[in-house]
Structures are given as C-alpha cells and as structure tokens.
Amino acid sequence: MNIAIRNGRVIDPANNLDQITDLFIGDGRIASLGEPPAGFIADREIDATNLVVSPGLIDLCANLREPGYSRKGTIASETAAAAAGGITTLCMPPLTKPIADNTAVIDLIEDLAKQAGNARVLPMGALTQELKGEQLSPMHGLRKAGCIGFTNAREPIHSALTLARCLEYAATHDLLVIFQPQDADLAAGGTMHDDTTCTRLGLSGIPESAETIEVARSLLLIEQTGVKAHFGQLSCERSVKMVMEARDRGLPVTADIAIQNLLLTDENVSGFDPNFHLIPPLRSQLDRAGLRHALVADGFQAICSDHQPHELAAKQAPFAATEPGMTGLETLLSLSLMLVQQELISLPQMLAKLTTGPASVLNVDLGTLSPGSSADICIFDPEQEWVLTRENCRSAGANTPFMDFPLKGVVRFTLLEGNVVFQQ
Amino acid sequence: MFEQQDPNLIQLNSAGQLKHFLTTEGLSREMLTEILDTADSFVDMSAQQVKKVPLLRGKTVVNLFFEASTRTASTFELAAKRLSADVLNLNIKTSSTSKGETLKDTLMTMEAMHSDMFVVRHSDSGAAHYIASNVTPHVAVINAGDGRHAHPTQAMLDMLTIRQHKGAFEPLTVAIVGDILHSRVARSQIHALRTLGAKEIRVIAPTTLLPRHIEALGVTVYTDMLQGLKDVDVVMMLRLQKERMQSALLPSESEFYNLYGLTEEKLKLTHPDSIVMHPGPINRGVEIETSVADGPKSMILKQVTNGIAVRMAVMSMAMGGQMTEHQAERGSE
C-alpha cells in the first residue's frame, strides 16, 4: 500500500531534519520526502497538518509478561499499548516463565508478536541459564533465534569470574550485553531510595552504592573483555558519570534512563502510594538533576519506559509488599514531552533519545525516516492534552502514578512497516 | 509535579478531628496535647472500682495482629473493653497470605462483620495507611505498629509518662538509645517530641543501627553513649532484637552491652532527676542492667499502665471523629 503523509512537521533526528513537508511510503518502506517518487499513486492520504511526523519510537526495555505472567499482560495487549504510544519497536527482558534462555521461548515470543502485529518485539536473552548467575546461556543460538542482546536483568551474578566468562563469550561472538545494575546484597530487599524519605517512612532502603558498585565492577570487566555493553535504566548521577567517563576512555558502552527517573524523585513516595514502588527506585533530587544534566550533555543514548504492567492485586497491599514497577508504554511520549515543555531539551533532541539513540545502541537500521528504511512512523500532536484513565488504558496494567494526570501529546497514527497499527 | 502528601489528609476529618490514628507525624501540638489530656482523664479511672465507661458501647473493635505481640495487644484489648466495646482478637501471626488470602481480602471479611474499628499491627511499613485508605468510610483505624514506620500509641504513652514526671517538654533533653534503624517507636517518639517542643532529641547508636540522614528528622546523632547521655533528662532505651546480632549489624551482645547498654554507671552521666524508659519487652543484660530496669528512675511499668489510658483516649477520639464526620455527611445529604 502506498501512503502519503501530507503537511506534517517531519522530524528525523538521524538526518537532522525538521521541516514541514510530505512523506511518501511504498511497500512498507520510506519512499521519499518532499516530492513523491515517479509514478507514485497514494492509496491512502494522511493529513498531518499541525502534527509531528517522526520515526516510530524504540523502547529499550518493556516487559510484556508473556509467556508465564499473562495475568499481568500479554504480548497482544502490551504491544497494542505500545502502538497507542507511538512505539514501533521494543526490547523485552528475559523475565518470562520459563526464563528466555532457550530458543523455544524466543520462538514463542516472536510468534505471538507476529500474530499480534502491533509492534516489533526484540527479545533479550538470558545471559546465564535461568538467570541463576552460574552457567552461560547458549548465547550464539539465541542470537540466531532473534535475541537482540543478553542480560541477567537484576538477578545477581555473584562470581566475578562467571561474569567475566559471560562477557568474554559474548565478545567472542560480538554480542551486546545489557546490564541492569543492582548489587543484590546491598539492595537487600529494599523498596525505595535510601535517604530521608525512606528513613521517615521506615521502609528499607536501596543505597546508591547498590547500583554504582555493580556499574563499577561491570565497567572493569567490560574493559578487560572488550565486550559491547549497554547499561539499562540507570538511576544515579554517579552511575551515568562512570559510564560517560568509560566512554571517554574508549569503551564501547552506552546507557539509557527510564523516563520516570528523569521526572520524579524519592520524595514522591511520601504517601505510601504503591505506584511509586519502582526498581530501580526513584532517587534523590540531586540524582534527578544529574540525570537531567547528562541528558543535556548527551551522556546517555536513550530514554525508555521500563514498562512493567501488573494485575490489580499486585499493587493492593502495603507499599513494601507490592510488586515494583509501573506501566509506561502509553505515556512514554507524553512524559518525554515534559522534558521539552520544561525547556530542558528541544523536540528533535527528545525524539533522538526515542529513535536514533536506541537504534544506535542496538545497531539496527531503524529509528529513521531515511528513504529505503522501514516505514515505522509515529504521527502525534504535541500540544493536545489527554488523560490516561483505567477506561482508556490499553495495557493490561493500570499501575502508574500518572493515571488521571493531565498529559500533553496525543498519538494520532502509528505505522509499522507501512501498515497503520494505531489510529485515533 | 506531585506534591508531598500531608500525613494528616488521611487521619483527620473535615473538622480537623482525629478519625484514624496512624502516625504522630504532622499532628499539631494541640492535637497531641488533647490526646494526652484525654488519656490523663482515663488514668484515674483505672484506679476506680468500676473501670468502665460507655464511650464505645455497641461498637465492635477488631484487633488485627499480623505480627506477634503480647503487651500491645492486651493493652488495646483492655482499653477497648474499658470503653465498653465488643472486642474480637485476631492473631494472624504468619500473615493472611499464608493461606493465599491478601490483606485486602482479610479486611473485606472483617468489614462484612460490621466492625467499627480496626487496631492493626503489621510487619510492613505503611500497612495501617493502606488499611485506612481502603476501609469503608466510618471505620476507624488505629496503628498498633507498622514495620519500621510508626507506633504512635507507644510514643504517646511515653509522652504521657514524661509529662507526668517532668511537666513541660520545652526544657527537656531526651536521648533515644539502641536500634534506631528498625524502630518504629523511635520514629514516632521523635515526631511527638519535636512537636511538643522538647529542647533537644538525641539518638545514640552505632552507625549500623542508624538510618541514613536521621538528622533530617531533627535529632542530634551520637555514636558514643558516654557523650550522648551527658545531662539528659529522659533516657529512652529501645529493644534490641537479638536475632539482628547475627546479621552483621553488631559483633556481639556483650560488645553492644559494653558500649550501649544502660548501666548504673552510665546513668550517673544523666541529669540527677532523669528518668529511664523502655517500650518493652526488655532484654536484661543486653540493653539495660537489671538494677536500672527495676530501679527508682525506671518508668517501665508506669508506661504499661499509661498505655491503657492512651489507647482508650485515641480509640474514643477516633470514634468520635468518625461519628462527627458521619453526622456532617448525613446533614449535608
């Protein structure tokens, strides 16, 4: 199908493009910008006047819960939420049941994603078998089955030797390793950032060192092994600084931050609202300021949702007894737009963190509107206001502190490989 | 973006009266004084032949104890009975979830029995807040200790004991000694003492038993007990759970006792008229010397007696607050 998107503000950070123009799609790919290709006849026209046309968003961390936790969400429900949020590609951690450490699980995820047809799902494989931190997973086979990278999520690998072996093996096959750094012993079952609010509420805290020590250990082993590495969802200023310094030394390291850590702090937990129970936790004002500074300084490559949908009962308990995480696919764009509204970064800079940035981390030819690339497109109105409610929430999880909160930025169309997968 | 939540949004009714008692944090000096004054009026009643008043007659109080407790549970039961309430005691020691039931399920079951008040003890911080946010309107919730967060009736019975012996709070230097990290009592005491105007609040403990940034609560930190006890008017010892000594927090009982145990010798550093308090149960020879625990400065048993009066006070006040709100709502219908 040929589609013409007319009159939109086309922003493609990969090509430094920001202009009002037309965009033409044919055979699932970007055909041209400005002028239609010779002989182009549009089967469908989309009027994008006063709308932004950007590459489809890429989310580096979204838990889709299937297989194993379909009471919290399914690949169909969560990719539908992604499409509604303008996200066309998402990376899924191996926290499924069974753990994604074998090709059967990866095949299942890919089949289910294909059936749903809402978004491109790139599974991350387990770095160690069953995420136990003991035995290497069959990374090469998993890569062939479609894994974009390998992670042990927040499950500990106590032995530095085992971790070194994992990284060596990944480096041998030029595989990406993704760290979600947290020292389990120092975190000690904590539920929020270890600081004044935590002391006041009597919750058990997760100190900054639980993250920074793991970042430091990982960086030393990355240096030793030369593996390509990415740090996901950093929450502390010092962690980002360490990664930036390592990159300056020439290490192949990248990082992302969950949008909530750029907007909120531990003080938001003050009323025991379990929707603020997040891992990594919301950190101090200084950390948030440091992360925002790193954003401006281009210290990390991507902003992600760290989407973690839950069933209602998982959040119906006292704070510490609830399961951590918030749903975030539908709000990723609107929350990121807050950074623009707060005049921290420009709209193209923000979109770079949601498109080209994550694409460069994954080393995939996505997140751009260059002619010939996949026609993954998000068309949105950055000014239109909306409210996420339990009724209009497409994710199976309604667990977010931003529920019923006034937001700006409404997705009008999402196209995946030239097909309209969401329209409002 | 989101404002810090006022702890009193949930525990006061629209007229500013107590309707739940979850924390001493944020309550006004007037409210704390009202609790103490009301408790004072119940103290004398305990000495009378007929120890009952009809303030909660016809009301059902459910003691929901998800964590083991003897002292607190029995004083709450006694307090409710002296207010003429019907009392149901539920000890759900291993938590409701042991049978697969969630806390919310337990709550709904209890509500279906038309309870009027829940007295809640739970190992999770914020459990009382959670319950207060989820109960049917007009059911009062009293926090009998939640995780490390708050134990407000314990703090108020301590305040009552101090007031009885010291009068005004303004000139007082108070030391809280021991396991501050895990102590809900300490947090509630600190909030209450600050609001009531104590001159200085000191916490004395090794760093392993101190929460991060405890100074932000308005206290002075001492890791040396000999310095910390100097000239204090009130020494509040905290219970040290012996099992914590194996978890790399402390080297041994004897080392803790040597450094932080309250002995006759160390007590000499305090003001000559000082008093000694302990929320109990006490570990003799670990946190306190027997002669100090049973000595003339000890208020430990007095605290227990005052506990009944304070619990009667907050139960009657919270029920009153709920009824006022109920009447106001019916009036506006």
| Mean pLDDT per 10-residue section of chain A, whose length is 424 residues | 97 98 97 96 97 98 97 98 98 98 98 98 98 98 98 97 98 98 95 96 96 98 98 98 97 97 96 95 98 97 98 94 97 98 98 98 98 98 97 96 97 98 96
Q: Which residues of A are catalytic?
A: 306
Token pair of A201 as six digits: 């509420």
Residue B105 pLDDT: 82
The pLDDT > 90 percentage for chain B reads: 73
Residue B259 pLDDT: 96
Query: Which residue did the predictor score with more confidence, B108 or B169?
Result: B169
Residues in chain B: 333
Q: What is the DSSP code string of B169-207?
A: STT-EEEEES--TT-HHHHHHHHHHHHHT-SEEEEE--G
Judge contact between A19 and A25, C-beta under 8 A.
no
pTM score: 0.94
CA distance A197 to chain B (A): 9
Q: Is B153-304 in the same CATH topology as B7-151+307-331?
A: yes
**Amino acid residing at B292:** V
Residue B156: in which H helix or E strand, if any? Answer: helix B152-166
Residue B324: in which H helix or E strand, if any? Answer: helix B300-332
Q: Compute the radius of gyration of chain B from its Cα atoms.
A: 20
CA-nearest of A176, A291, A173, A275 to A239 is: A291
CA distance A199 to B180: 10
CA distance A266 to chain B (A): 10
Q: Is B184 annotated as a binding residue?
A: yes
Query: Is 0.85 exceeded by the ipTM?
Result: yes
At residue A121, φ and ψ (nearest 5 deg) are -105, 120
Residue B225 pLDDT: 97
Q: What is the largest CA-CA distance in chain A?
A: 69
Q: What is the DSSP code string of A142-173?
A: HHHHT--EEE-TTS----HHHHHHHHHHHHHT
Q: b or e along A77-113 (b: 16 or more beta carbons within 10 Å of the residue's beta carbon)? A: bbbbbbbbbbbbbbbbbbbbeebbbbbebbebbbebb
Going by the DSSP 8-state scheme, the letter that residue B286 receives in this structure is: T
Residue B63 pLDDT: 93
- Residue A163 contacts by C-beta under 8 Å, 6 or more apart in sequence? A157, A217, A218, A221
CA distance A117 to B88: 56
CA distance B102 to chain A (A): 8
Hey, what CATH topology would domain B153-304 get? Answer: Rossmann fold (3.40.50)
Residue B242 pLDDT: 73
Say if A306 is an interface residue toward chain B (CB within 8 Å): no
Q: Enumerate the domain spans of chain B.
A: 7-151+307-331, 153-304
Say if B150 is an interface residue toward chain A (CB within 8 Å): yes
Q: How far is CA A161 from CA A150, A243, B118, B253, B328, in A?
A: 17, 21, 53, 37, 68
Residue B98 pLDDT: 54
CA distance B260 to B186: 16
Tokens 């270890």 belong to A194
Q: How far is CA A224 from CA A137, A227, A239, A251, B112, in A?
A: 21, 8, 19, 10, 63
C-alpha angle A204-A293-A234 in degrees, rounded to nearest 5: 40
CA distance A139 to A148: 10
At residue A99, φ and ψ (nearest 5 deg) are -60, 145
Say if A203 is an interface residue toward chain B (CB within 8 Å): yes
Per-residue pLDDT band at B2 (split at 50, 70, 90)? confident
Q: What is the pLDDT of residues B19-46, one digit of tens each?
A: 999 999 999 999 999 999 999 999 988 7
Question: Shortest CB distance from B217 goes to which of A194, A199, A321?
Answer: A199
CA distance B264 to A406: 62
Q: A319 contacts in B (CB within 8 Å)? A: 124-126, 130
Would the CB atoms of B4 and A270 count as touching at under 8 Å?
Answer: yes
Would the CB atoms of A272 and B211 count as touching at under 8 Å?
Answer: no
Judge contact between B144 and B123, C-beta under 8 A.
no
Q: Is B284 annotated as a binding residue?
A: no
Q: How far is CA A228 from CA A93, A223, A377, B235, B284, in A?
A: 17, 10, 28, 58, 58
In this model, does residue B5 exceed pLDDT 90?
no
CA distance B83 to B152: 20
Going by the DSSP 8-state scheme, the letter that residue A311 receives in this structure is: -
CA distance B87 to B52: 14
CA distance B216 to chain A (A): 6
Q: A207 contacts in B (CB within 8 Å)? A: 212
**Kind of pairing between the strands at A87-92 and A44-47:** unpaired
Nearest chain A residue to B216 by CA distance is A196
Q: A320 contacts in B (CB within 8 Å)? A: 124-126, 147
CB atoms closer than 10 angstroms to residue B272: 8
Would the CB atoms of A207 and B1 count as touching at under 8 Å?
Answer: no
Q: Which residues pair with A205 in a beta bridge?
A: A192
Q: Give me the mean pLDDT over the B193-212 stretch.
A: 96
Question: Shortest CB distance from A201 goes to which of B104, B126, B214?
Answer: B126
Would the CB atoms of B187 and A200 count as touching at under 8 Å?
Answer: yes
CA distance A104 to A110: 10
CA distance A204 to A110: 39
Q: Which of residues 175-214 of B touch A (CB under 8 A)?
A: 184, 187, 211-214
What is the SS3 assignment for A114?
Answer: helix
Ramachandran bin of A292, using left for φ above 0, alpha for ψ from -120 to 50, beta for the remaining angles: alpha
Q: Give me the mean pLDDT over the B261-269 stretch.
A: 97
Q: B213 contacts in A (CB within 8 Å)? A: 195-196, 199
Q: Does domain B7-151+307-331 have CATH number 3.60.20.10?
A: no
Give which of A191, A195, A201, A322 to mutate to test B binding, by max B Cβ within 10 Å. Answer: A201
CB atoms closer than 10 angstroms to residue B58: 9
In this model, does residue B95 exceed pLDDT 60?
no
Per-residue pLDDT band at B8 (split at 50, 70, 90)? confident
CA distance A231 to A247: 12
